[in-house]
Structure 1
Amino acid sequence: MGERTTPSGLVLVETLVNTFDVEAGRDALATPDGLEALMRAGDVALTADDMPAVVRLREALRAACAAHTGRAMPPRSAADLTDLLAEAPLTLHVDGATGNATLHPAAGLTGARALTARVAASIAAAEADGTWRRLKACEAESCRWAYYDHSPAGRRRWCSMQLCGARSKMRAYRAKRRTT
């Protein structure tokens, strides 16, 4: 069985969401290496002025990924994501050889707007091919890591059954034993 990876169109979204490690409280965007990795993944240059919009986008995307596990998306996060994506102009390109149409960020965008437009194009393509709903955020409150759900039924709840899933099941087991 081959290694299971996130579809290429969603790697940028997953990378952005995972720039914040909830459990460790570490924000990769606060380090030069972490920021450089995101800029490479998004093929965009970012500055300190872009960080508030990038963090807002990241947290709204995390909430959308959590909604893919059945958790209600907070209205503020939904509004933030809608507002940010609305400010990211896309253009439709039609391939002359195949006639296939794809969305791309509009020309001339820089910084956070360019990153947001790339994310918007990725989400649109993933929604069209049915992969968007499989990008999820771990149900564990102490984790919230983004992962791609490869399970046949698409009902995976944790980034790792061996870690977050096992912790959750052990907590539930102990709570049940305390009440009996």
Structure 2
Amino acid sequence: MNDRPSAPEGLLLIQDLVNTRDIEDGTDTLDSAPGRRAFGLPAADVPAAKELREALRAACLAHAGHGSAHALDVLLADVALRVNVGADGAASVTARGADLRSRVAESVARASLDGTWLRLKACEAETCQWAYYDRSPAGRRRWCSMSVCGARNKMRNYRARHA
């Protein structure tokens, strides 16, 4: 859908990973060789990547006020990150590993530092849950697309009130 806001570059890895599973269509691009290649995943790592993806989806739902991000905390607890402090005192974070979990942990840490992490959300529509970046001024967007998921929700509510 063309009005699903794309995340800033530092969060694109996470947004793209969450969106490998299309709940509405029932498809999963991690089940295909090109989908795995996009994340540098051998077939043996797919189950762990799917677990990570769903923990990220839960965190994005938590950012929108639904559920808990605890599963992501558990999955990233042992990832080694390094804080780098430059001569000017500016700090940055880098992962010590190059695997998917390490890259995700680095992205989460950097996005937390720059204030963008909490704006990566998942659509509250149960049949969607697509990850999107909330660019609304108040940061209270609820759906990935107002023209699709938002409109469906409003129509359901209208029909329920007039039934």
Q: Same fold (TM over 0.5)?
A: yes
What is the CA-CA distance between 1:89 and the residue it aligns to?
1.1
Deviations 1:66-89 (A, max 9, x none): 01111122xxx61x3122111211
Amino acid aligned to 1:104: T
**Hey, what does 1:42 align to over in structure 2?**
none
**Hey, what does 1:146 align to over in structure 2?**
131
Alignment partner of 1:161 out of 123, 138, 146: 146
Q: Does 1:15 align with 2:16?
A: yes
SS of match in other structure, 1:171: helix
Q: Percent identity, aligned pairs only?
A: 54
Q: Does 1:101 align with 2:91?
A: yes
Query: Unpaired runs of 5+ in structure 2?
Result: none
**RMSD of aligned residue pairs (Cα, Å):** 1.5
Deviations 1:111-168 (A, max 9, x none): xxx2111111111111122111110000100000000000011000000000000001
Q: Does 1:60 align with 2:55?
A: yes
**Hey, what does 1:71 align to over in structure 2?**
66
Distance 1:71 1:5 in 2: 21
**Hey, what does 1:175 align to over in structure 2?**
160
Distance 1:48 1:95 in 2: 39
**Hey, what does 1:28 align to over in structure 2?**
29
Once the two structures are overlaid, the 10-residue window that deviates more, 87-96 or 143-152, is 87-96
**Paired residues of 2:55 and 2:72 also in contact (CA < 8 A):** yes
Q: What is the aligned length?
A: 159
Distance 2:93 2:148 in 1: 37
Greater helix proportion: 1
Query: Unpaired runs of 5+ in structure 1?
Result: 40-44
The runs of at least 4 aligned residues of structure 1 exceeding 4 Å deviation read none
Amino acid aligned to 2:91: A
TM-score normalized by the length of structure 1:
0.83
